[in-house]
Chains A and B, each alone.
Chain A
Amino acid sequence: MKEWLRETHGPGLELLRHFLRRFFESDLTTAPDHMIGVLVGALPVFFQWFFLLVIPFRNKYAQLSDLSTPGLYRAAVRADELWLITLMMSAIGLLTAIKWQSLFPNLRDYRALGALPLRARQIFGAKLAALLLVATATLIILNFLPSFGFPALSASRWAFRSSFGARVWANAVASLAASCFFSLD
């Protein structure tokens, strides 16, 4: 894979990897690949944000599971699911708001790439693909732990569906769909 990446490929793929890297550059970084270090550091933070909620969720649902009626438990599950989905939507919305302008070539792209044998649609396509890739990766990273974690933590005899897999699937689809809806809207 590494060797394959080092080779030259078609302009579409070359542009795609070029624009992917551009996503992670900002004026705060001063050296090439500086952002990779920052990203590597930030990735666990984004990946693990859900761990902050593990203990509160676990205690809360342990208590709610002991109740004699399911009403309070189900209301809490519904509220937390909606909250998590809203959180995901907000995070993706924020990302979209910050990065939506990356979809279009800027002045620098025009001047640096304009004289190269590239078509405008190739540049636009590569930008779109890069944006979608980043958004998808963010969606997956942000949703990965909640999709598994929340159904596991909220497991109870009062759960709507007892199958863990089904709950994970439902949670993941709902979060991803909501996030996609928000980012594409």
Chain B
Amino acid sequence: MLEARLLTKYYGHTAAIRAVSFTVAPGEILGYLGSNGAGKSTTVKILTGLIAPSEGQIFYQERSVHDDLTAFQRRLGYVPEEAHLYPHLSGREYLQLVGRLRGMPRRVLEPKMDEFLRLFSLWSDRHAALSSYSKGMRQKILLSAALLHNPDVLILDEPFSGLDVTSALMLRSLLRALAAQGKIILYSSHVLEVVEKVCSKVLILRKGEVVAYDSINRLRELMSPLSLEGVFAQLVNAEDSDALAGQVLDVMTSGDSGRPSSEKAKTSRALGTSPPEPPVAMGLRLYRALAGAFPHEFQNVYGEELLQVTETAITPIWKRYGVLGLGRLLLDIAIRVLIEHLAEFWQDVRNGLRTLVASPGFTIVAVLSLSLAICIATCAFSEMNGMALRTLPGVQKPGDLVTLQSPVSYPSYRRFRQQHDLFVSTMAYAAPVPFAVDVGGNTHRAWGHLVNSSYFSTLGVRPALGTYFDPSEQRNDRAPTVVVSHRFWQDRLGGDPLVIGKNLRVDGRPFTILGVAQADFLGASPLLFPADIWMPVTAGRSVAPELADNVLERRDISMFFVVGRLKSGISTPRAEAELDATAERFEQDRVDFDKNTQKHRRILLAEGGKLFPLRKQDLPFFTSFFTIMAALVMLIACSNVANMMLARAARRRREIAIRLAMGASRGRLIRQLLTESMVLAIAAGVVGFVASLWLMTLASQVQMPFPMPVAYDLRPDAHVLVLTVVLSLCTGLLFGLAPALQATRADLVSALKDGGNLFFRTHRRVSLRNLLIVWQVAGSLTLLVILGLLSFGIQTTLGIQAGINPKNLYSIALDPVRDGYSSAQSAAFLNRLLDRVKALPSVKAATLTETVPVSIPGTWMRVSSAGSEERMTIAAIKHVIGSDYFETTGIPVLLGRGFRKQDEADNSTTAIISETLARQLWKSKESVGRSLDVGNGEIMPAMGLWPGSFDHRPTVSGSGLQRFEVIGVAANVTEDILVGKPRPAIYFPLRPSTYSHPSLQGITLMVRTIPGVDALSMVRREIAAIDERITPVNGRSMEDQIDRFMAPLRMAAWTYAFIGAFGLVLAGVGLAGVTAYAVAQRIREIGIRIALGAKRGAVLSLVMKEGLVLIIAGTAFGMCGGWVEARMLASMNSSVGTVTSTSTSDPTVLVGAPLLLALLALIACYLPARRSTRIDPAVALRQE
């Protein structure tokens, strides 16, 4: 017997129940009735031990349950009013959990719970998550859990809630049957009709107190004799309910002691609950796992059937076909799973395409935004890839190659070559070397390398035709040979397959073609010094002036680049350290290593297998700068599209809600929305990649201001393609995921109702969309500030070529020595040409010069004031010029005179200095007649690695101090790529030795003519008139020369400006779209406000205010971001530091950028806000 004595429960000072007493005898069903809030659930919770009573006690079989609550709970079955289940468990798992926690052994528990699941029609959903169950299904699970252990006491709190009629009738019969078995049942409800049918006694609560407690017969008198259920029970087969209840009863009472009845055994076999053979069980388990992998929708339609058919058929299959049969079955379903997923994916793609086609405006803007961003990111990576990351084409194991950062002398190379413990092999080469190549009677200028015999073997490249050099090439008795590039072979030699062994005239001498290099191979430094001709270093000075003065034996001429292939296990630092030690020992005889390099080392190694042997300290700048720019642009574009997707997803709220209501899973909808995003991203990826391919092909064709043809192949390769694909997919995920998650979190009821868009502000300020806008403004401003600083910085620092007069000034280069002339012949030819040109009536002035104004500075020299007490040493740019140079170029000579013919002698000691050098040496311009010392031994190394910035000629780098007399002071010439203080310059006269071994550019003839004359053609005619074999190169006007010199920076400035403008437009589009969406969402609210008398100005300010707050927040973040990143970039690279520092104080960027963005953003907000003021209240209110 269960007895409650004077149960009272207080919540605070409020009594939920007061002095409730009752008894329930075995076989009785006590109906526990009361209106809402009467205290029914409180009593039930006290009875089940969920809460303790404030007063009173409960007795079971004459003992207080609180003495051993757990023992009482073991005998208790409880069905709560609300099903609080673990949502991730399946129905079967929940029953298993409850059974196990009640200590039921498996052999009893599993058959029971399977039987319950079947009897309650839950078998097909037994593996589905409880979260997907309906209320009635959950109620059935609770009933099953309560009955599993055949309890003596059953407490039911509204157990019929949510049950279908058949189940309700069955439960009713079951309760009666249980009572007949002597169970104690307390049935809490407020439905009198049900209580009437099943209960023997009734207790009625009112405001926590018992108002009636008596038999059912007394209450029945107050009720209608025929209830609704009675009518229904007569219409449906009530006997079946009773039979079903009988079966449940059988299951409940079955235990470990007794075998199931024959009926039950039959059912068990039908359900497959009798233990199958292990392979069948394993196969079934795998089958179920695979069946669970089908798409959700497929499972909804076919899932049950799939399982039922297989569970029935698997044992016969095993018996008939054995393992092969099971394998075939599993393989079949595995393939089917894949096909179904692919079909679903294809359906999603088609659906996505249809949806996107239906919104062409959105699709075009989104694809354009993303494709521009992907294009910029791809271009950035292409540039990074082309400049810093690519390895030498055709070279084996490029990672093993190292190169010395600075050139060394050939004797030093010989020392390094002996480091057999470090290198597998080493090679040395001199570059760039111009050659005059005679093909078919026409002479062309080609560039190449002077190499030693191990050049190709060290790089590990194979010839396309013929062979490469071997050590015998080093012998002077061998016939001279050359190797040509594949490009040269194709373009100049017509791809002749029999070219090997044929003669090629190079620099006027015949050479035998030994081999053709493999396609794409342009030497060890193709980016800086692409080579079409490779000639042995033993070819002799008669062929290559670079080899004059016994350079292979001189330690004072550092002109050879060294590349080594490291042995396995040798690290670069170790090789660097050991080479440095070798160089230190070598230094005892002669200084030929500069000690002032990085880390105070003589030898520094760079990666020899890269297209561009970038210095280690420059690599982070190359990678970080491009990465930051690309990431910012990508993030802005993604935010923009994510914002539009959010707005669009909100518009599709009803569609999504309908899909959810129709049974689509959230995961499925997310997948579908993500597929749409992916379709957009892939379309943008294709457009972006094609655009970047086009842009990079254009960029690769930009002429660089170098004396030799240098081409940067920046076209995207396979690496870039992979990046674009990854970028597109990540982009799709990035901008698609958040909107998809938010869109599918729809509240079905409100979404399905029309007019569900009337909502007043709650958490609008911190919504995802607002955060995205803030980020977008911040990101755009950061981008704008950085690029503005760079762009304006470049514009303001672009060099102003002052000091020379470029109008009607032309230059053309010649190198007769390369065309086969001797030094004397060369000098005679050039002087004759000069005389002829000067004699032309249209020529106002002409000169020969080695250095051309507005070009990359070749050599810096250290110049000291001689004789004075305070000896100053200044670094100055060296110019070698002929007489009449100043007159021709228009550079005024401020003091003294220019060079005359008699100054052009090898022993000449005259020099002209620039105004700046004069001031720096002697603090005044009055320097004519003074002496200065030029330290050839103190010549500074080449400035950087740019092509044309080397000059290793012995005449330039010879040893010893030499004293010169200043004969004139020339005006300053500002000819740098970036504006700055005029650099000090020193001018020397052309000497006969210069004619015999000119610089890479050769000797340049500069001509100033009267306007309207085709000076270049005129000069070419004069050259041809003297000797047709002489090849003029690099003929151009000075204006062209200046344009070409400044082109890279101008291009950079425009690129930055373009990217900045793109970010600005994106931000504007995003803000306008989102504000328009916000207005559309609030159209009813605004309509009501206007209807209630709100002025249109107030509505306008309401909408604008929201946008303004976001803009201010974004601006604050953006300014901080821009400043920090500009500082970061400046710290990585001094050039950027120079450029940005010139503009950091420029209010144009610091004030203009945020103002411009804010203005654009305000316009973007204003347009939709203004539209909001025109909303007709009647139309807005009718929307519902």
Contact call B573/A66, Cβ cutoff below 8 A: yes
Interface residue? A99 (CB, 8 A): no
The majority secondary structure among interface residues of chain A is loop
Which residue in A7, A31, A62, A117 is a CB contact (below 8 Å) of B74?
Answer: A117
| A109-134 residues at the B interface, CB under 8 angstroms | 110-119
Min CB–CB distance B831 → chain A (angstroms): 58
Interface residue? B931 (CB, 8 A): no
- Give the docked Cα–Cα distance between A66 and B89 (Å): 58
Which residue in B49, B99, B572 is a CB contact (below 8 Å) of A63?
Answer: B572
A112: nearest residue on chain B (CB-CB)?
Answer: B84
Query: Which residues of chain A are near B577, meaning CB under 8 Å?
Result: 66-68
Most chain B Cβ neighbours within 10 Å, of A9, A29, A30? A30
Query: Assuming the A-B contacts A22-B86, A30-B667, A32-B89, are A115 and B101 also in contact, with contact meaning beta carbons closer than 8 angstroms in the complex?
Result: no
Most chain A Cβ neighbours within 10 Å, of B70, B74, B127? B70
B48: nearest residue on chain A (CB-CB)?
Answer: A115
Contact call B129/A30, Cβ cutoff below 8 A: yes
Query: Which residues of chain A are near B82, meaning CB under 8 Å?
Result: 111
Query: Which residues of chain B are near A35, meaning CB under 8 Å?
Result: 88
Interface residue? B351 (CB, 8 A): no
- Give the docked Cα–Cα distance between A114 and B857 (Å): 87
- Give the docked Cα–Cα distance between A31 and B418 (Å): 69
Contact call B101/A66, Cβ cutoff below 8 A: no
- Give the docked Cα–Cα distance between A118 and B572 (Å): 67
Which residue in A11, A22, A62, A115 is a CB contact (below 8 Å) of B76?
Answer: A115
Which residue in B74, B85, B104, B105 is a CB contact (below 8 Å) of A112?
Answer: B85
Which residue in A8, A18, A68, A114 is a CB contact (below 8 Å) of B109?
Answer: A8
What 0/1 readout, one digit per residue, does chain B (98-122) give for beta carbons within 8 Å of chain A? 1111111110010000000000000
- Give the docked Cα–Cα distance between A17 and B100 (Å): 11
Query: Which residues of chain A are near B88, meaning CB under 8 Å?
Result: 22, 25, 29, 32, 35
Contact call A32/B93, Cβ cutoff below 8 A: yes
Contact call A7/B106, Cβ cutoff below 8 A: yes
Interface residue? B600 (CB, 8 A): no
| A60-119 residues at the B interface, CB under 8 angstroms | 62-63, 66-68, 107-108, 110-119
| B551-602 residues at the A interface, CB under 8 angstroms | 571-574, 577
Query: Which residues of chain B are near A31, meaning CB under 8 Å?
Result: 128-129, 292
- Give the docked Cα–Cα distance between A29 and B87 (Å): 10
Contact call B101/A11, Cβ cutoff below 8 A: yes
- Give the docked Cα–Cα distance between A119 and B70 (Å): 7
| B56-90 residues at the A interface, CB under 8 angstroms | 70-71, 73-74, 76, 78, 80, 82, 84-86, 88-90
Interface residue? B1178 (CB, 8 A): no
Interface residue? A176 (CB, 8 A): no
Min CB–CB distance A76 → chain B (angstroms): 13
Which residue in B74, B98, B127, B573 is a CB contact (below 8 Å) of A67?
Answer: B573
- Give the docked Cα–Cα distance between A82 and B635 (Å): 33
B90: nearest residue on chain A (CB-CB)?
Answer: A32
Which residue in B102, B104, B106 is a CB contact (below 8 Å) of A6?
Answer: B106
Which residue in B78, B104, B667 is a CB contact (below 8 Å) of A8?
Answer: B104
Contact call A30/B665, Cβ cutoff below 8 A: yes
- Give the docked Cα–Cα distance between A31 and B50 (Å): 30
Contact call B666/A30, Cβ cutoff below 8 A: yes
Contact call A115/B80, Cβ cutoff below 8 A: yes
| A7-43 residues at the B interface, CB under 8 angstroms | 7-11, 14-15, 18, 22, 25, 29-33, 35
- Give the docked Cα–Cα distance between A33 and B89 (Å): 8
Size category of the A interface is 35 or more
Query: Assuming the A-B contacts A8-B100, A32-B88, are A111 and B73 also in contact, with contact meaning beta carbons closer than 8 angstroms in the complex?
Result: no
Min CB–CB distance B882 → chain A (angstroms): 52
Query: Assuming the A-B contacts A6-B106, A8-B99, A31-B292, are A115 and B49 also in contact, with contact meaning beta carbons closer than 8 angstroms in the complex?
Result: yes
Min CB–CB distance B66 → chain A (angstroms): 13
Min CB–CB distance A5 → chain B (angstroms): 10
Query: Assuming the A-B contacts A8-B103, A8-B105, A32-B90, are A63 and B85 also in contact, with contact meaning beta carbons closer than 8 angstroms in the complex?
Result: no
Contact call B129/A117, Cβ cutoff below 8 A: no
Interface residue? B97 (CB, 8 A): yes
- Give the docked Cα–Cα distance between A35 and B93 (Å): 15
- Give the docked Cα–Cα distance between A35 and B105 (Å): 27
Contact call A113/B101, Cβ cutoff below 8 A: yes
Query: Which residues of chain B are near A113, meaning CB under 8 Å?
Result: 101
Query: Assuming the A-B contacts A107-B84, A116-B102, A117-B70, are A18 and B97 also in contact, with contact meaning beta carbons closer than 8 angstroms in the complex?
Result: yes
- Give the docked Cα–Cα distance between A31 and B86 (Å): 12
Which residue in B78, B85, B100, B666 is a CB contact (below 8 Å) of A14?
Answer: B100
- Give the docked Cα–Cα distance between A63 and B566 (Å): 14
Min CB–CB distance A101 → chain B (angstroms): 17
Query: Which residues of chain A are near B103, meaning CB under 8 Å?
Result: 8, 10-11, 117
A68: nearest residue on chain B (CB-CB)?
Answer: B577
- Give the docked Cα–Cα distance between A35 and B129 (Å): 12
Contact call A14/B292, Cβ cutoff below 8 A: no
- Give the docked Cα–Cα distance between A7 and B100 (Å): 9
What 0/1 readout, one digit per residue, does chain B (121-140) give for beta carbons within 8 Å of chain A? 00000011101000000000
Contact call B48/A66, Cβ cutoff below 8 A: no
Which residue in B98, B105, B573 is a CB contact (below 8 Å) of A7?
Answer: B105
Query: Which residues of chain B are near A25, meaning CB under 8 Å?
Result: 88
Min CB–CB distance B994 → chain A (angstroms): 46
- Give the docked Cα–Cα distance between A14 and B96 (Å): 10
- Give the docked Cα–Cα distance between A22 and B87 (Å): 10
Query: Which residues of chain A are near B571, meaning CB under 8 Å?
Result: 59, 62-63, 66
Most chain B Cβ neighbours within 10 Å, of A9, A11, A31, A35? A31
B80: nearest residue on chain A (CB-CB)?
Answer: A111
- Give the docked Cα–Cα distance between A15 and B98 (Å): 10
Contact call A114/B666, Cβ cutoff below 8 A: no
- Give the docked Cα–Cα distance between A31 and B125 (Å): 12
Contact call B70/A14, Cβ cutoff below 8 A: no
Query: Which residues of chain B are near A33, meaning CB under 8 Å?
Result: 292
- Give the docked Cα–Cα distance between A25 and B88 (Å): 7
Contact call B109/A115, Cβ cutoff below 8 A: no
Contact call B84/A108, Cβ cutoff below 8 A: yes
Which residue in B73, B127, B574 is a CB contact (below 8 Å) of A115?
Answer: B73
Query: Which residues of chain B are near A14, meaning CB under 8 Å?
Result: 97, 100-101
- Give the docked Cα–Cα distance between A118 and B665 (Å): 36
Min CB–CB distance B65 → chain A (angstroms): 12
Most chain B Cβ neighbours within 10 Å, of A62, A108, A112? A112
A15: nearest residue on chain B (CB-CB)?
Answer: B101
Most chain A Cβ neighbours within 10 Å, of B74, B76, B88? B88
| B487-545 residues at the A interface, CB under 8 angstroms | none
Query: Assuming the A-B contacts A111-B80, A114-B50, are A32 and B573 also in contact, with contact meaning beta carbons closer than 8 angstroms in the complex?
Result: no
- Give the docked Cα–Cα distance between A62 and B571 (Å): 7
Query: Assuming the A-B contacts A18-B97, A115-B76, A116-B98, are A66 and B574 also in contact, with contact meaning beta carbons closer than 8 angstroms in the complex?
Result: yes
- Give the docked Cα–Cα distance between A7 and B109 (Å): 10
- Give the docked Cα–Cα distance between A71 and B84 (Å): 63
Min CB–CB distance B708 → chain A (angstroms): 35
Query: Which residues of chain A are near B105, meaning CB under 8 Å?
Result: 7-8
Contact call B50/A110, Cβ cutoff below 8 A: yes
- Give the docked Cα–Cα distance between A7 and B82 (Å): 30
Which residue in A10, A32, A108 is a CB contact (below 8 Å) of B127?
Answer: A32
28 pairs of residues in contact across A and B, judged by CB atoms under 8 Å: A6-B106, A7-B105, A8-B100, A8-B103, A8-B109, A15-B101, A22-B88, A29-B88, A30-B129, A30-B666, A32-B127, A35-B88, A63-B571, A63-B573, A63-B574, A67-B577, A107-B84, A110-B50, A112-B86, A113-B101, A114-B48, A114-B49, A114-B50, A115-B50, A115-B73, A117-B74, A117-B103, A118-B73
Other A-B contacts than A10-B103, A30-B129, A112-B85, 16 sampled, CB-CB below 8 A, are A7-B106, A11-B103, A14-B101, A30-B667, A31-B129, A32-B88, A32-B93, A32-B128, A62-B571, A113-B101, A115-B49, A115-B73, A116-B101, A117-B102, A117-B103, A118-B73
Q: Top 10 nearest A-B pairs by Cβ distance?
A: A111-B84, A66-B574, A117-B73, A25-B88, A115-B48, A115-B78, A114-B50, A63-B573, A32-B90, A117-B74
Interface residue ranges, A against B (CB under 8 Å): 6-11, 14-15, 18, 22, 25, 29-33, 35, 59, 62-63, 66-68, 107-108, 110-119
